[in-house]
Amino acid sequence: MVQVRFACGHSRSVTFPVRLCPLQRNRTLSLLARSTCPSCLRELRQRVAQQQCRAVGLPPLRGNTPQVVGLAEQIRAAVVRAYMEQEASPTSEVLALLATRRDAGWWCVRRMALWSELHCRALVSELQTESEEKP
Ligand SMILES: [Zn+2]
């Protein structure tokens, strides 16, 4: 196990495969030393997702931990991006549906939306069905 210091200043223990040659091992260590640590990378992704959702007027999500809220914001931002890539901006109808769900746990259960635009569309369809079923 080797202690790696990332470019962001954080350190982390890294384990290499026993058979990894010294050259490859040094290249990997050098690459990691020039990279951002996984925690800082996650925070950055979450901050960008929050900014994208605020930019289209979506309210902040609510959840038990910052990690859950952060993941949920990323999922919701993926849906917004999927619509932006197709239509320049999501319709007000889609945004109104996305704004109905502020519980971070609800979004995290549907994290498949991060995988593809198809999953994003399925999630919006689910919201449409829910809103039609409400009295
Ligand atoms: Zn870091």
| Domain match, 31 and 67 both | no
What is residue 11's DSSP assignment? Answer: E
Expressed in angstroms and rounded, the spacing between residue 60 Cα and the centre of ligand 1 is 25
Expressed in angstroms and rounded, the spacing between residue 106 Cα and the centre of ligand 1 is 28
| Domain match, 51 and 7 both | no
Confidence band of 88 (pLDDT split at 50, 70, 90) = low
| Domain match, 86 and 67 both | yes
Task: Give one DSSP letter per residue of 50-84, joined into a string.
Answer: HHHHHHTTPPPPB-SSHHHHHHHHHHHHHHHHHHH
Q: pLDDT tens across 14-24, in order?
A: 998 888 899 99
C-alpha 22/C-alpha 17 separation (Å) is: 11
Expressed in angstroms and rounded, the spacing between residue 35 Cα and the centre of ligand 1 is 9
* Domain hosting residue 84, numbered range: 40-133
Average pLDDT over residues 61-83: 93
Expressed in angstroms and rounded, the spacing between residue 41 Cα and the centre of ligand 1 is 7
At residue 24, φ and ψ (nearest 5 deg) are -65, -40
Expressed in angstroms and rounded, the spacing between residue 8 Cα and the centre of ligand 1 is 5
Confidence band of 93 (pLDDT split at 50, 70, 90) = confident
| Domain match, 123 and 59 both | yes
